[in-house]
Chains A and B, each alone.
Chain A
Amino acid sequence: MTTDTASSYLPAGTPLPAPSPDGLDTAFWEATRRHELVVQRCNSCHGYQFGPEWICHRCHSFDLAWERVSGQGRIYSWERVWHPVHPALVNACPYLVVLVELPDADGVRLVGNLLGDPMQEVEIGAAVEAVYEDHPLEEVTLVQWRTLTEFARRRQAV
C-alpha cells in the first residue's frame, strides 16, 4: 500500500539525514529503509511522541518503543518555497513543503515534501499518504507525501 517509491523530489546535494550520533532515532531511519513509518510510543502511558525524545514528556518514563503507524496523514500546514537558501536548491524552486499530522498517532507531525506539481493547490486538512524516497548510494530513505486523490488517479491509470 505505501511501498511505492518516489524519485528524488529535491536535487542531489540537498542535505540528507543521518541518525543522531547518540542513537536516539536510529530506529526511525532503519524503518524508513524498510519502507515503514514508525513513531515513538511510551510503554508506560502509551502516548505517542515525535520528534523523538529520551523520555516520555507525559509520564517521564524511559521505557519508549518505536511503533509502526499507517502512513496515512492529513496536511496540517504547508508552504511554497520560492527563494532558495541552499546551493543545491538554486534551480529547484518553487517546491512544496508540507507539515503532516498523523491521526492514528495522537496527531504527531512530520515535515515532508508534497509530491506532484509544485503549483498545485494545497488544502489544509487534505488526506495524504506516505511515499518512500530511497537514496540507495547514501543508504537512507526519506518519507514524502502525496495526496490520496492523485494516488487514486495513478492507480486507475495503471
Chain B
Amino acid sequence: MSGQTMKDQTAIAGIGETAYYKRGGAPVSEFQLTLEAILKAADDAGLPVKEIDGFASFSDDRNSPPRLQAALGIPDLSFSNMFWGGGGGGGAGAVANAAAALVAGYSKYVVVYRGLAQGQFGRFGQSRAGGRVSYPASYTAPFGLMSPAQSFAMRVQRFMHDHHISPAPQKAISLTSYEHAQANPRAVMYGRTLTSEDYDHSRWIVEPFHLFDCCQENDGAAAVILTTTERARDLKQKPAVLMAAAQGSDDRQAAPAHNAPDYATSNFKTVAKRLYAMAEIGPRDVDVVQSYENFTGGVMMSLVEHGFCAPDEVEEFMTLETFRAPHGRLPLNTSGGNLAECYMHGLELITEAVRQLRGTSTAQVPDVAISMVCSGPMVQPVSSLILRA
C-alpha cells in the first residue's frame, strides 16, 4: 500500500502548549493563547515562525488562519483548513489534513492548532433557557437529553449491556489518567489524586457516567508543526514520523435522533481498519496509546474498535495494571489526557504521543517505537493517527 499513500512522508517537527487553566481561568484572550502555542511549537522545532505557510484546525476553532497569518506576520498563506465536526473527532484528522497538504505540495510547514477559552466564550454541555427547539433537537431536548454526556451515555449503556461490562473498566480508565497526571506538572489535576474510593463516592452525572468519567473543561492552546519527513530531519527535534492517519464515519452514524444503525459504537470500526492498512502494522505493534476521553466509556469502545481487545474481553483487559505506564500491557493517556491534564480538545494527546517518541513524557514508556492517538469517540467524523520514531 505504501507509495500510494502518505505513509511516512510527513512528520511532526515541533510541539507547543500554553499553560493549562481551569475553565475561565486564562488571564489572556483565546487568540493570544493560540499565538503563544504556535510560537512555542515553532521554537520547539527550531523553525522561524514566518516559514509556516499552512494552518489546519478542527471543531470550529474560532481563530482563523488569515487572522493568525496577519498577527504572526506570515507573508504567504498557502493552505487553510478546517476539519468538519464538533468535539475532538478532528484532532488526528487535522494532522491528516496538514500531512495531505504537504504531500500534495500545497505547503512546506503546516501548523495544526486549537485554542480554547471557555470563560471568554460559551461553555460546552450547557443549554440555554426556555423556548422551542426544532429538528433535530426537537426529538431529544424536550426529554432532557441535551448535553454530550447525555448523548453518549446512551451509547455506552447499550455497549455495556451487549457485552456484560461492569463499571470497573470505566473506573480503570479514569484512575489511569489521574495517576499519570500526578507526574505531569502541566496537568490541571497535578497534585490532585483520585483514589478508588473518591471515584466510587463521586456523584452521578448521568448513569453510567460518574463525575470522574467526564472530561474537564479548560482554557489554553496547543499546536503541532508538520513538514515533510525529509525537511523535519533538518530541524531541531527528532521527527515523529506520521506512519498513518485516517478519518471518517461508519454507516449513517449521524442519523438524527439516535438512529445510527450500529449504535453502541465509538465510530472507529472503518477508520481503524484504514489506519492499520496505511501503517501496515497491527494493534500488537503499538507501544503506547492516547485515546480521547470525552467520557471513559468512549475510550473503552475506542480501544476495542482499534483491536486492542475483543468486546467480550473488556472486563478482563481494561484494568489499571494494563493501562499504567511504564510497564502496563497498553500504557494509556500518559499525560493525564482530557480527564486530568487538560481538555485541549485532544490536541494535548497528540503532543503527548510525540513526547513518548522523543522520550520526554513525564510517564515515559521505555523504547517507544509506535505511538497512537485516537481522536473523539462517538462523534462524527472521528480520526486516528500512528506515529513512529
Segment at the A interface, from B8-16, B130-138, B281-289, B356-364? B130-138
Give B163 Cβ to nearest chain A Cβ, in Å.
12
Residues of chain A from 4 to 34 with CB closer than 8 A to chain B in the complex:
9-10, 13-21, 24-25, 29
With an 8 A cutoff between CB atoms, is B104 at the interface?
A: no
Give A124 Cβ to nearest chain B Cβ, in Å.
5
Give B191 Cβ to nearest chain A Cβ, in Å.
25
With an 8 A cutoff between CB atoms, is A41 at the interface?
A: no
With an 8 A cutoff between CB atoms, is A110 at the interface?
A: yes
With an 8 A cutoff between CB atoms, is B145 at the interface?
A: yes
Residue of A nearest to B158 (CB): A77
Residues of chain B from 185 to 219 with CB closer than 8 A to chain A in the complex:
203-208
The reply to whether B134 and A18 form a contact with Cβ atoms under 8 Å apart is: yes
Residues of chain A from 90 to 137 with CB closer than 8 A to chain B in the complex:
92, 94-95, 97, 99, 108-113, 124
Select one of A21, A53, A86, A108 contacting B127, CB under 8 A: A86
Across chains A and B, the number of contacting residue pairs, with CB separation under 8 Å, is: 141
Give the CA-CA distance A76 to B126 in the complex, in Å.
26
Give B4 Cβ to nearest chain A Cβ, in Å.
31
Residues of chain B from 102 to 142 with CB closer than 8 A to chain A in the complex:
125-127, 129-142
**Residues of B contacting A76 with CB < 8 Å?**
158, 263
The reply to whether B144 and A97 form a contact with Cβ atoms under 8 Å apart is: yes
The reply to whether A111 and B138 form a contact with Cβ atoms under 8 Å apart is: no
Give the CA-CA distance A18 to B264 in the complex, in Å.
29
**Residues of B contacting A142 with CB < 8 Å?**
142-143
Give the CA-CA distance A18 to B137 in the complex, in Å.
10
Give the CA-CA distance A82 to B205 in the complex, in Å.
5
With an 8 A cutoff between CB atoms, is B166 at the interface?
A: no
The reply to whether B135 and A111 form a contact with Cβ atoms under 8 Å apart is: no
Give the CA-CA distance A53 to B154 in the complex, in Å.
23
Select one of A52, A85, A92 contacting B126, CB under 8 A: A85
With an 8 A cutoff between CB atoms, is A59 at the interface?
A: no
Give the CA-CA distance A50 to B264 in the complex, in Å.
18
With an 8 A cutoff between CB atoms, is B78 at the interface?
A: no
Give the CA-CA distance A87 to B127 in the complex, in Å.
8
The reply to whether B139 and A89 form a contact with Cβ atoms under 8 Å apart is: no
What are the interface flags for B47-90 relative to A under an 8 Å C-beta threshold, 1 for contact and 0 otherwise?
00000000000000000000000000000000000000000000
With an 8 A cutoff between CB atoms, is B310 at the interface?
A: no
**Residues of A contacting B203 with CB < 8 Å?**
82-83
Give the CA-CA distance A25 to B252 in the complex, in Å.
19
Give the CA-CA distance A68 to B47 in the complex, in Å.
64
Q: If A51-B255, A79-B150, A111-B145 touch, does A15 touch B131 (CB 8 Å cutoff)? A: yes
The reply to whether A79 and B153 form a contact with Cβ atoms under 8 Å apart is: yes
The reply to whether A13 and B130 form a contact with Cβ atoms under 8 Å apart is: yes
**Residues of B contacting A50 with CB < 8 Å?**
256-257, 259
Give the CA-CA distance A108 to B144 in the complex, in Å.
20
Residues of chain B from 257 to 271 with CB closer than 8 A to chain A in the complex:
257-259, 263-264
The reply to whether B204 and A82 form a contact with Cβ atoms under 8 Å apart is: yes
**Residues of B contacting A49 with CB < 8 Å?**
259
Residue of B nearest to A145 (CB): B143
Give A64 Cβ to nearest chain B Cβ, in Å.
15
**Residues of A contacting B143 with CB < 8 Å?**
9-10, 97, 111-113, 142
The reply to whether B158 and A16 form a contact with Cβ atoms under 8 Å apart is: no
The reply to whether B139 and A19 form a contact with Cβ atoms under 8 Å apart is: no
Residue of B nearest to A92 (CB): B144
The reply to whether B157 and A77 form a contact with Cβ atoms under 8 Å apart is: yes
The reply to whether B129 and A25 form a contact with Cβ atoms under 8 Å apart is: no
Give the CA-CA distance A137 to B141 in the complex, in Å.
19
Residue of A nearest to B162 (CB): A124
Give B204 Cβ to nearest chain A Cβ, in Å.
4
The reply to whether A78 and B136 form a contact with Cβ atoms under 8 Å apart is: no
The reply to whether A52 and B133 form a contact with Cβ atoms under 8 Å apart is: no
**Residues of B contacting A15 with CB < 8 Å?**
127, 130-133, 137, 141-142
Give the CA-CA distance A82 to B91 in the complex, in Å.
30
Give the CA-CA distance A79 to B137 in the complex, in Å.
18
**Residues of A contacting B206 with CB < 8 Å?**
79-83
With an 8 A cutoff between CB atoms, is B155 at the interface?
A: yes
Give the CA-CA distance A147 to B150 in the complex, in Å.
22
Residue of B nearest to A11 (CB): B144
The reply to whether B135 and A20 form a contact with Cβ atoms under 8 Å apart is: yes
The reply to whether B135 and A77 form a contact with Cβ atoms under 8 Å apart is: no
The reply to whether A80 and B207 form a contact with Cβ atoms under 8 Å apart is: yes
Q: Which 6 A-B pairs have the closest CB atoms?
A: A51-B256, A17-B138, A18-B132, A20-B135, A82-B204, A77-B158
6 contacts between A and B (CB under 8 A): A20-B135, A50-B256, A77-B161, A85-B127, A89-B144, A142-B142
Interface on B for A, CB 8 Å cutoff?
125-127, 129-147, 149-150, 153-155, 157-158, 161, 203-208, 252, 255-259, 263-264
Add 20 more A-B contacts to A17-B139, A79-B208, A113-B143 (CB < 8 A): A10-B144, A13-B130, A15-B130, A19-B135, A20-B134, A25-B138, A51-B136, A51-B257, A51-B259, A57-B255, A76-B263, A77-B157, A82-B206, A82-B207, A83-B205, A85-B126, A85-B146, A86-B129, A109-B263, A113-B144
